[in-house]
Amino acid sequence: MNSVITQTLLPAALAVVMAGLGLSLTAADFRRVARHPKVVTVSLLLQLVLLPAVCFGITYALGLSPVLATGMMLLAASPGGTVANVFSHLFHGDVALNVTLTAINSVIAVVTVPAVVEFALWHFQPDLGEDGMGLQFTKLIQVFAVVLIPVALGMLVRRSKPDFAERLDRPVRLVSTVVLALVVLVAVFSERVHLGGYFASVGLAALVFCLVSLAVGFWVPRALGVRHRQAVAAAFEIGAHNATLAMTLAMTTLGSVRLAIPAAVYAMIMIPVTAAFGWALTCREDDLATAAPSPAEGAN
């Protein structure tokens, strides 16, 4: 039964989620890069270069096992998920920028995810037994099929039948929520005997990685002169990794439930931590607004 879920249902469900992402994207989302080149460039460099390096350092600093370290690197390579858009909306970020970053990351992930995972498999040499395998060429094609093709099809539907795409938006978002819960439950149930040990082993790493991702995603753009709303959007896009994608690729493409454990633990940690971070940013924004002099006061 588990093999049916991991090899058939999960890839199909994830394809639906990625198609739903495509339904929300238009060519204008990609063209918007030209209007915000600084924040897009900074965000992509942070997500694609800095965060995998940070994650690599965390795995060494906390002494993670090769399997958990490889799972953490898979998580670090995964782009931001649609949950980033929700958090950005709730905490006054630039949601349009989130959509743009998600669109670009969905394309780039086809190359970056296999590259980072292949490096992690080569470096950490995790013992996956008969349950896991490396990323052969056929597996790279599967990553392409699961990530990019559904997004492209969704965008095509949005372009040719915008009304139909709008009607599908709400049910697809519901499916996305169900899929995340399903993937987490499958990973947790499959490794339920060892879950306490896994959480003890990788929980701190997932928490530190989540906090660093959020902090770097906000403060680095701010330090480079990016506006507050755009920095908030960047923080959520960089900090809220697509745990669903990471877990599904681990259990299907890589054939190992154990590689999905870090992403499963991260998914349970990320929601409350990201919500608390967003609340802190909102409080800070309110404090800055209160401290700023009114136009009349500035004229005196």
DSSP string, 153-194: HHHHHHHH-HHHHHHHHHHHHHHHHHHHHHHHHHHHHHTGGG
Dist CA 284 CA 261 (whole Å): 34
- Other Cβ atoms closer than 10 A to 296: 7
Candidates 1.20.1530.20, 3.20.20.100, 3.50.50.60, 1.20.58.220; CATH matching 2-285: 1.20.1530.20
Task: Please state the pTM of the whole predicted model.
Answer: 0.75
Cβ neighbors of 257 (< 8 A, separation 6 or more) are 6, 131, 186, 187, 190, 191, 250, 251
Distances (CA, A) of 250 to 67, 103, 149, 253: 11, 22, 19, 6
Structure tokens at 156: 């095509």
The per-residue pLDDT for 212 is 95
The per-residue pLDDT string of the chain (300 residues; one tens digit each, 9 = 90 and over) reads 455 455 556 666 667 767 776 776 676 666 766 777 888 899 999 999 999 999 999 999 999 999 999 999 999 998 876 678 778 878 888 877 887 887 788 778 778 888 898 899 889 988 765 545 555 555 556 666 666 777 778 878 887 888 887 777 777 767 766 766 666 676 666 666 766 777 888 999 999 999 999 999 999 999 999 988 899 999 999 988 888 788 878 877 777 888 888 998 898 888 889 999 999 988 866 555 555 554 444 444
Structure tokens at 99: 């959509």
Boundaries of every domain in the chain? 2-285
CB 238 within 8 A of CB 214: yes
